[in-house]
Structure 1
């Protein structure tokens, strides 16, 4: 901290011995040592507080970046869900149109159950669920396990 050489310290010690005397010099030296220790602890506390503040600022910046990324992912996920929903709506509408046209052509007789259509709709739903699960896995989203 200060640039004192051995000779300067020797002269200061000799002057202190002459001024204070051999009886009071040890007490004064001990007191000066305690003050220096307190000063060093205070300086180290201030340094640690400054470091903590800097780390806290870095953590806040990191948190902001993570929340922004989460919002971006959420937006892209919502847009994908909206697109899928619109596709499902068009598929449902086309099925409704087919069922309406089959009812009109049959003359009011309720149509027979078309198991192929039902299974194709179920397969489509299963594929959508599988895609959603794959996307969540790729994004790192953990899903709760289903109960049996």
Structure 2
């Protein structure tokens, strides 16, 4: 708290020797030492009281929970990663699919392939639009003419 070096303590000692006198100086230092000791004791007691209040409020439990959450091995994320890895490596195994399921899977794969190809074609068309005079390009729609009669 206070940053007192050797030179500051020497100045304080000389001033105390001049003001108090050589006879009463040991008593003064004893009194100051007792005061400093009492102040340190009060600080320790205050610190213990604050720690005890924190224990009663459950702050240490919350701190331990946060530290456990910050450590993935204690939190169990390694087990979740292992389980997710098992799911990505899953295959049907040796058992072949029955005919109905195989047809359904084939239909899904075909539909997905068609949609993907249509999306790729649409992206290619958006990047490189066809000129208007080619027969492949759709004719621009014009709004219907209104009768002004």
TM range (shorter): 0.3 to 0.5
TM-score w.r.t. the length of structure 2 is 0.39
Higher RCO (Cα < 8 Å, 6 or more apart): 1
- Which has the greater radius of gyration? 2
